[in-house]
Structures are given as structure tokens and as C-alpha cells.
């Protein structure tokens, strides 16, 4: 089975998201670390909240505005 898909431009489009022989689902790339053992409890709470936000919003990477939204949703306020 080829990964090439015909296009209207005449050049084939190579589908690279689904490679032959790749494991189903592939390896998930993370914006931050996959483990939180070395973090303080507050940092663990933030990391889990960011992961939850990314899963709920189907985002692999988030920007500063989104991080700020997560931080504010945890109750943090500038004093």
C-alpha cells in the first residue's frame, strides 16, 4: 500500500501521518515532560491541569494565553 494520494496539481501528496509499519496511534509527542515525580505538588497540579486542558481541547501544544487561562482556572491571581 502506498502513502501517495493523487492531487489536482499532478504531484502526489505523501501521507506521512500514517506510515506503514508504524504502531497504531504512534508515539505521542508532548510539549512538556511525561512524568511529574520531580515536581512540587503545586507544579504537579498545574501540569495535570494543562494536560487536561490539552486533552479536552484536542491541542498538542498550547500558547501563553491558554496557559494563563489554565493558571487562572486553578485560582491563581496576581497580587
7: CB partners within 8 A, 6+ apart: 13
pTM of the model: 0.58
- Asked if 42 and 34 count as a contact pair (C-beta separation under 8 A), the reply is no
- The helix (run of H) or strand (run of E) holding residue 68 is helix 64-73
pLDDT at residue 65, rounded to an integer:
97
The pLDDT mean for the chain works out to: 79
The total number of residues shown for the chain amounts to 79
* pLDDT digits 0-9 by tens, 21-55: 555 555 555 566 667 888 999 999 999 999 999 99
Long-range contacts of 62-67 (CB under 8 A, 24+ apart): 62/31
| pLDDT beyond 90 at 19 | no
Please give the Cα distance from 58 to 2 (Å, whole number): 28
Amino acid at each position: 500500500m502506498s502513502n501517495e494520494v493523487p492531487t489536482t496539481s499532478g504531484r502526489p501528496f505523501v501521507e506521512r501521518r500514517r506510515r506503514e509499519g508504524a504502531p497504531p496511534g504512534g508515539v505521542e509527542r508532548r510539549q512538556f515532560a511525561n512524568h511529574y515525580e520531580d515536581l512540587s505538588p503545586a507544579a504537579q497540579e498545574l501540569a495535570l491541569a494543562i494536560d487536561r486542558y490539552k486533552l479536552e481541547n484536542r491541542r498538542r501544544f498550547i500558547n501563553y494565553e491558554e496557559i494563563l487561562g489554565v493558571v487562572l482556572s486553578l485560582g491563581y491571581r496576581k497580587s
